Structure 1
Amino acid sequence: MINKLINPDYVFEASWEVCNKVGGIYTVLSTRAKTLQEKYHDKIIFIGPDVWNEKQSPYFIENENLCKDWRISAKNNEDLTFKVGRWNIPGSPIAVLVDFKNFYKDKDLIYGKMWEDFNVDSLHSYGDYDESSMFSYASGKIVESFYKFYLSDENKVVFQAHEWMTGMGALYIKKNLPQVATIFTTHATSIGRSIAGNNKPLYDNLNYFNGDQMAYELNMEAKHSIEKQTAHNVDCFTTVSQITDNECKALLDKPADVILMNGFEDDFVPSGSEFTKRRRDARKVMLNVANKLMGTELKDDTLIICTSGRYEFKNKGIDLYIESLNQLSNSGELGDREILAFITVPAWCGAPRKELIERIENDDKSNESLYKPFITHSLNNMNEDRILGMFNYLGINNSKNSKVKYIFVPCYLDGNDGVINLSYYDFIIGADLTVYPSYYEPWGYTPLESVAFHIPTITTDLAGFGLWSETLKGKENTIESGVKVVHRSDFNYFDAAKEVKDTILQFYRLSDDDVKKTRTNATRISEKALWKHFITYYYEAYDIALNNAYNRLNK
C-alpha cells in the first residue's frame, strides 16, 4: 500500500520543541527523526526556535558550512536570521533554529493579514501567544526562502506544523507558497485541555460544548482561533489518538484526516547485563534517598512504584495516584513488604535539601527522619503546592508504621538535580510498577516508556495509549498483560482510585515468576508501538496533503 502513496521530496517540520526539550512533543519528534532520516536522507528538515541565543545548546550542533550560501542570502536579502546544523539525537537530522525577535515590530501587520486571509482572531492574545506566533510566522518565511533558493515546482514538498504554536506558519505557507502541501497536527486541543484543567466535565458534555463559546468563556479565543482556522485550512489535519479526534470533531468542528499515533525507538533501552546493572543502580539510589529522608531501612524487596510527567494535578491523575495509595495504606490488606511510591513531577523547585545531601554524602544511618520526610528539594511555594497540600489533608507523613511511603521529587531528572543525580530513564528503570491514572491525556508517553523498560503500568481509558493498548488482540485487561487500563469518567474518581488500588494490590501479591511474565508482556506491548509500525500513518498523511494541494492548485 505504501508504494502507491505519493512520496514527498522534502519534508519540513516546525515545532516549538525542536532542539528544545519541553514536553512530550520533543519525544515524538526526536524518537521519530531517525526513521524519517533513514528514508529521506537530509530531505527531512526540522525547524525550531532559537531560544539559546549565544549559549551552547546541548541539543543542537551548529554547522556553518551547511546550507551556507542560502543562509547568507536569506540574511542579506530577506533579513532572516537563523542557524543551521544538526539535531543532537539518533539520526542527526538537519535542524534550523530561527531567531524570530525581528518580527515583533511587525506583529500587528502580521495579525491583521492573518485576520484578512483566514479570520484568525488575535485581538484577545496574551501570555505566550506573541512569542509562539512570531516563531511560527518566521518558520513559514524560512520554508519559503529555502524553497525559492533550492527548489522548484518539480519538487513535492510537505510542511508539517505541530500544535497551535506553529499554525500561523502553515497558514502563511498556504497563502504565499501554495505549491507546498501543509499538515497540521494538534497533540491536544487548547480548549479541551482548558476545560479539563478548569474542572469542567469534559467527556459527558463533549458533544454539547461549543468550542467558540468555551474559548470566550475561558479566555482562550486567540489560541483557539489559530488552532481552529489552521485545522480547517491545511491540506491534511491530523491528531494523535482517537480520544483527541473526538475533541477535534466537537470543539474544532473538524475531524482528523489521519490519526498519527505516537511511537518510539527502543535504542535507548539497555539490554542484557547492562539493563540489570542500571536497574540495580537505580534501585540503590531510590532506596538510599528514601532511607536518608525517613531514617528507615527499607529492604531490597520493597515494591517501588512511580508516577511522573507534567505538573497537571488533575489532568495527569496525580491526585488519583495519591488517593489510591492512601486507600491501600489504610486497607489493612498489605503484608510485611513495604511500598515506596515516587512522584517525579517538576514543580516550582528551589534548591536540593542540604540536610538530605549531608546524610547521603556521609552515609548517615540515623533512624530519625528529617523534617518533611517526603520531599527531596525545597519549593518556592511550599504552602501552596497541591501535592503537599493533599499529603497534609490525608495526614500523609511517612510514619514508621505506614506500609506505604511517599517521596516527591519536584525537579527535572536530568542527572544533575543534586539529590537523585540520574536521568529520567536511568531512574525509572528501577521501578517495579508505574501508575499514570490520567483524566486528560491525548496519548501518554510515560506509560509507553514504562513498558519499553519492561515495567508494567496502570493507565486509563481517557489516555490515547490506554485506548490503543485495549485494541491489541488477545490482551486481557489485567496487570498481568503488562498494561492495566482503568475506566475513568467525569464522575467516578473514587471508583477509579479503588480500581487502581486493587490493581496495585494484585501486583503486590504476584509471585516472582508471575512478575517476570508480566514484565515480558509489558515489553511485548511496547514492541508494537515502535516507529517502524506507526510511521506508515505519516506516509499516509503526506499522500493526502500532496494530493489535496495538487487538486487545490489545479481547480
Structure 2
Amino acid sequence: MQLPSSAPESVAPNTLLVEAAWEVCNQVGGIYTVIRSKVPATVAGWGDRYCLLGPYFPQAAQAEFEPFTDTQVAAGRDPVARAVRQLREQGYEVHYGQWLITGKPRVVLLSPFQAYSRLGQLKADLWQNHHIPTPDHDDLLHQVVAFGHLAKVFVQALCTEVAEADTIGNQPQQVLAHFHEWMTGGAIPALRREQSTARLVFTTHATLLGRYLAMNDPNFYEHLLHVNWEHEARHFNIETAVRLERAAAHGAHVFTTVSELTVRECMYLLDRIPDAVLPNGLNIERFVALHEFQNLHQKYKAKIHEFVMAHFFQSYSFDLDKTLYLFTSGRYEYHNKGFDLTLEALARLNYRIQQSGIEGQVVMFFITKRPYHSINPEVLQSRAMLDEVQDTCSAIEQQLGERLFYQAASSTDYQLPNLLDLVDDYWKLRYRRTLQSWKTSRLPPVVTHNLVDDATDDILGFVRRANLVNNRHDRVKIVYHPDFVSSTSPLFGLDYGQFVRGCHLGVFPSYYEPWGYTPLECVARGVPAVTSDLSGFGDYVQQTVPDHEDKGIFVVRRQEKSFDESAEELTNMLWQFVIQNRRERINQRNRVESSAEQFDWRHLRQHYDHAYQLALQES
C-alpha cells in the first residue's frame, strides 16, 4: 500500500480536526499510548485547529484534565468553544479544557450517563436504521451507545458553527472527525444517515472479532479466509460490538488500520479494504536520556539485582555480573502474546547453556496481569530479611570503618589488623542469626503472588511440565510477576520504564499483535527487543529498517512457520544474545538507542495526514 514520503508541517489549513477515542483522558489500554504519544506531533501540524473528544469519567479524568473556566469558555470565539456553548445551552453536560500532557491539546469530554434516559430510543434507532441489536444488561455497550449519540450531537454542532463562521476570515471551513475503534465509531453511521458535512475517518487498531478468534484458534491466519463473521460474533457474544465496528468501517469516508497484517483481517472480517495504513510511533523525546541511558541501565539494573538477591540467594547464589535479565510483558494472552513460544525457547536455551559449559545465568521475567489473592508472603518475607541483612552489614561496616581508622592512626604496626576483632560480639551474633533465619533449602518460587487459578495457569503449567522451576542447576530462571510493575511495588520499587531500562532484552514473539508497543518502548529506551513478523511493529521493521538485527531489533518468523521452527529460531536468537560479551552488548545498546528516532511521531504523523487528505478529497 503506497504511502507518502513526506508531509507538510501545516495540514489542510481550512480544516478543523476532531479526534475521538475512548481513551482520551481515560487510561485503559494501548490506544491511550497511541493517542497520548501522538498529540505533540499532531499539535505541531494542526495547532489550535485540533481538538480531542472522549467520554467523561471523573476518576480517570481528574488527574489529567484541567477544565477551562466559565470566563474562558464564554470568551472563546473559535468553533469548538461556540459548539460547547451551544450544547450547554441545550442542557448537555460538556466538559471543555486541556489534557495535561505534552502539547496540552484542547479536549471535549462528554459523560455517557447523561444520555441514559434516552437509551431505549437510541437502541431502537440502532436496530431500525442500522440493524444493530443491543442487549439489555451490558453496561459497557450502554455507555458506548450513549457516547456515540453524544459524539454525533457534538460533531453536528461543530459543523453548524463552522458553516456559520464560513465567511469570517481565518476560520476553518470544514470539519474532519477521526474516530478510533468501535467504542467511539458508533457515531459514524448516525452522522452519515443525517448527511453530516463532516469528513469521517475510522481506524481499527485490531478487529474485535480477530482478537477473539486468534485467542481461540491456533491456526487463525490459515482459517481467516473462511470465517463466517456473523456466526463467530454470536458465538463469542460480541455481535453488537462487531456490528458497530462494521458500520463504522463502512460508514467512514476513509477507513484505516495500523499495519499491513491487519489489512487482511479487515478484508475478511469487516468486508472493507482499508484506504491507508497508519503505523504507530512514540514521542521519542520523552524517552531520550542523551548520553545517560547507559548509566540509567546500570542504576536500574542494580535495583533488579536487589530483587534477584532477595528472590534467589535465600536458596542459592550465582554471579550477578554474569547474569542477563530478559523480560516479556503485556496482557495475559498466553498464545496471542507468544508466551507459549517464549517458554518453549527458554526451555531449549536452558538445556543448550547447560550443555555448552559457558558461565552465566539468565533470569526471565514475565510481567503481566492475572487475578491474585496477595503477594506470596514468603517472597515478601525474603525481601524484608534481605533488607535486614543489608542493615546489619551497614552497621558492621560503619563500626569496622571507624575502628579501623582509629587503629591505623594510632598503631605503629603497619600490618592490617584482624578485622574480626574490630566487630562487637553483638553484631557478630546478629549477623549469624539473620543469615540463619533467612537461608532455606526450598527452591525459589516461580510466581511472586498467590494466584487465584494457580492450578490451571498456562505459564505455571508449562514450567511444571518442563521442570523449569528454578532448580539450582537451571541456567534459565523464571520469575512470573502477575501484576504490572510500579514504583510502589514492595518487590521492585521501580516503575515500568525504569524496569525496562534495567533489563538487557525484551522478548515479544507475538502470534497476534496488530501493532505492538512493548518492543518499540524497549527500542526507545535503548534496550534490544525481539518481536515477530505477525506483529505489526515487526512487519513494519522488516519493511523499513535495513539491518534491523544489527540495530538490536530481532524479528522471529512465524508466518507460514510451524511452532517448532519458530521456537528454534527464537532459541538461536536468545543463544546468540547470551554468548555476546559485555562490550558487544554495550555497543548494541548504543545502536538501538540511535535507531529509535525513526519511530518518532514527527516522522510517522505523515501517514495520518495522508489519510486526512484522502478524506477531504472524498466526494
TM-score (norm 2): 0.82
**Distance of aligned partners of 1:377 and 1:151 in 2 relative to their CA distance in 1, 3 Å threshold:** farther
Deviation at 1:226, TM superposition (A): 0.8
Map of 1:19 onto structure 2: 25
Matched positions, count: 546
Residues 201, 114 of structure 1: alpha-carbon distance in 2 compared, 3 angstrom cutoff? same
- Report the Cα distance in structure 1 between the residues aligned to 2:186 and 2:304, rounded to whole angstroms: 45
Instruction: Tell me what 1:113 maps to.
Output: 125
AA at the equivalent of 1:241: S
Asked if the contact 1:212–1:251 (Cα under 8 Å) also holds between the matched residues in 2, the reply is: no
Once the two structures are TM-superposed, the CA of residue 87 in structure 1 deviates from its matched residue by 1.5
Q: Which residue of 2 aligns with 1:325?
A: 346
2:381 equivalent to 1:355: yes
Provide the rounded CA distance (Å) in 2 between the counterparts of 1:97 and 1:388. Answer: 43
Cα distance in structure 2, aligned partners of 1:8 and 1:252: 32
Check 1:84–1:384 CA distance in 2 against 1; reply closer, same or farther (3 A cut). farther
Per-residue CA deviations over 1:233-264 (Å, capped at 9, x if unaligned) read 11110000000011101111101111010011
AA in 1 matched with 2:271:
D
Q: Distance between the aligned counterparts of 1:299 and 1:206, measured in 2?
A: 47
Q: Secondary structure at the match of 1:412?
A: coil
How far is 1:29 from its partner?
Answer: 0.6
2:162 and 2:175 in contact (8 A); partners too:
no
CA distance in 1, matches of 2:533, 2:501: 25
Q: d(CA) in 2 for partners of 1:276 and 1:343?
A: 24
User: What corresponds to 2:65 in structure 1?
Assistant: 60
1:516 paired residue number? 586
**Change over 3 Å in CA distance of 1:512–1:276 after alignment to 2:** closer
Question: What is aligned with 2:151?
Answer: 139
Matches of 1:254 and 1:418 in 2, distance apart? Answer: 49
Please name the residue that 1:494 is paired with.
564
Give me the whole-angstrom Cα distance separating, in 2, the residues matched to 1:415 and 1:358. 17
Which residue of the partner structure matches residue 254 of structure 1? 272
Contact 1:291 1:297 in 2 (8 A): no
Alpha-carbon spacing, 1:262–1:427, altered in 2? closer, same or farther (3 Å): same
CA offset at residue 369 of structure 1? 6.9
For the 8 Å contact 1:203–1:490, the answer to whether it is kept is no
Tell me the secondary structure at the aligned position of residue 514 of structure 1: helix
* Pair 1:206–1:377, CA change in 2 (3 A): same
Q: Structure 1 residue 439: deviation in Å?
A: 0.5
Q: Name the TM-score, length of structure 1 as normaliser.
A: 0.91
Segments of structure 2 that go 5 or more residues without pairing to the other structure are 1-5, 75-80, 167-172, 391-434
The match for 2:489 is 417
Paired AA for residue 421 in structure 1: G
What residue ranges of structure 1 are gaps of 5+ in the alignment?
none
**Corresponding residue number in structure 1 for 2:50:** 44
Shift of 1:327: 1.4
Distance in 2 (CA, whole Å) between partners of 1:457 and 1:72 is: 45
2:84 and 2:96 in contact (8 A); partners too:
no
For residues 436-515 of structure 1, what are the structure 2 equivalents within 5 Å?
436-472=508-544, 474-475=546-547, 479-489=549-559, 492-515=562-585
By percentage of residues, which structure has more helix? Answer: 2
Conserved 8 A contact 1:374-1:407: yes
Structure 2 Cα separation of the partners of residues 502 and 205 of structure 1: 29
Identity %: 27
Q: Does the CA-based 8 Å contact 1:153-1:179 persist in structure 2?
A: no
State whether residues 123 and 145 of structure 2, in contact with CA within 8 Å, keep that contact through their aligned partners in structure 1: no
Verify the 8 A CA contact 2:25 2:99 in the aligned structure 1.
yes
Point out the structure with max Rg over C-alpha: 2
Secondary structure of the residue aligned to 1:439 is coil
Measured in 2, the distance between the counterparts of 1:403 and 1:452 equals 29
The amino acid across from 1:253 in the alignment is: D
Question: What is the correspondence of 1:59-138 to structure 2 with a 5 Å cutoff?
Answer: 59-65=64-70, 66-68=72-74, 73=85, 76-122=88-134, 126=138, 128-138=140-150
1:397-436 to 2 correspondence within 5 Å? 397-436=469-508
User: CA distance change for structure 1 residues 460 and 105 in 2, over 3 Å: closer, same or farther?
Assistant: same
Task: Please name the residue that 2:410 is paired with.
Answer: none
**Pairwise CA distance, 1:371:** 7.3
Structure 1 counterpart SS, 2:144: helix
SS in 2 for 1:261: coil
Q: Read off the aligned partner of 2:124 and give its amino acid letter.
A: G
How far apart, CA to CA, are the structure 1 residues paired with 2:137 and 2:240? 5
Letter in 2 for 1:311: Y
Amino acid corresponding to residue 27 of structure 1 in structure 2 = T
Q: Note the C-alpha offset of 1:453.
A: 1.4
Q: Does the aligned pair in 2 maintain the 1:293–1:374 contact within 8 Å? A: no
2-structure distance, mates of 1:537, 1:217: 36
Q: Say if 1:368 and 1:542 are closer, same or farther in 2 by CA, change over 3 A.
A: same
* Worse-matched range after superposition: 2-11 or 296-305: 2-11
Give distance in 1, aligned partners of 2:374 and 2:441: 19
Give the aligned residue type for 1:394.
Answer: A
| 1:237 equivalent in alignment to 2:263 | no
Instruction: Tell me the secondary structure at the aligned position of residue 150 of structure 2.
Output: helix
Distance 1:490 1:345, change over 3 A: farther
C-alpha change, 1:490 and 1:110, in structure 2 (3 Å) is: farther
Is the aligned partner of 1:31 residue 2:37?
A: yes
Q: In structure 1, what is the equivalent of residue 409 of structure 2?
A: none
Q: Which amino acid aligns with 1:305?
A: L
Residue 363 and residue 130 in structure 1: after superposition, are their counterparts in 2 closer, same or farther (change >3 A)?
farther
Alignment of 1:257-272 (within 5 A): 257-272=275-290
The 1:260/1:273 distance shift into structure 2, 3 A limit, reads: closer
Residue 109 of structure 2 aligns to which amino acid in structure 1?
A: L
**2: CA distance between counterparts of 1:341 and 1:147?**
54
RMSD, aligned α-carbons: 2.6
Q: Which residue of 1 aligns with 2:602?
A: 532
Q: Using the alignment, how far apart are the partners of 2:83 and 2:460 within structure 1?
A: 50
Q: Which moved more, 1:140-149 or 1:102-111?
A: 140-149
Q: How big is the shift at 1:515?
A: 2.3
Secondary structure in structure 2 of the residue aligned to 1:203: helix
Q: Alpha-carbon deviation of 1:153?
A: 7.0
